[in-house]
Structure 1
Amino acid sequence: MHLRGRLVHRITRDDVGRRVSLRITLPEGGFTDIVGVVESWSEGILTVRRRDESTVEVAENAIVASRVVPPVPPRRRGERP
């Protein structure tokens, strides 16, 4: 997300269905990161499904950095969840 000290916003509407990492500004200040699959992107709002199956809506203008990340690798037999 950083490129030589700069925050980089790399995702587009074409990335719906892909797993992404987002850094967003919080209303009270500061930042938080969200990782998940972009389920929709409409009217400036992204819906992202996290690994625990919860969804979060993110205002496009709150995103300060983003990138596509690899899918979660499948679990091996016998691994704990």
Structure 2
Amino acid sequence: MPLNRAAQTLTTLPLGTRVVVRYRIPDGLTDALGYLRGIDDARCTVETRTSDVVIELADVQAAKEVPPPPPRRSARGG
């Protein structure tokens, strides 16, 4: 089965690119925001803040490159 446009977009991005991927889960849709760490013919891996998320390309509904996160603010004690 050919990949949809969103999944095809992922295959063109270099590893390490920051991405957001919307994909199907049993209860609906969810997003993964992080760095593209791996991709093959069937799945991709996105490193999020909390864990690596492995996503089946057939489940991808939307995907795009996103800019780097803003710098973290330092905590100010008082």
Give TM-score scaled by structure 1 length: 0.71
* Paired residue secondary structure (1:61): helix
Aligned amino acid, residue 49 of structure 2: R
Identical amino acids, percent of aligned pairs: 30
Task: Structure 1: state its 5+ residue gaps.
Answer: 1-7
Size of the alignment, in residue pairs? 70
Aligned partner of 2:32 in structure 1 is: 34
> Could you list the per-position Cα deviations for residues 31-81 of structure 1 after superposition, in whole angstroms to 9, with x for gaps in the alignment?
1111111101013110110023x10100011001111111112224446xx
Give TM-score scaled by structure 2 length: 0.74
Aligned partner of 2:23 in structure 1 is: 24
Give the structure with the higher percent helix.
2
Deviation of the 1:17 alpha carbon: 1.4
1:70 to 54, 61, 67: 67
* Paired residue secondary structure (2:9): coil
Task: Structure 2: state its 5+ residue gaps.
Answer: none
Q: Distance in 2 between matches of 1:48 and 1:63?
A: 12
Runs of 4+ off more than 3 Å: 76-79
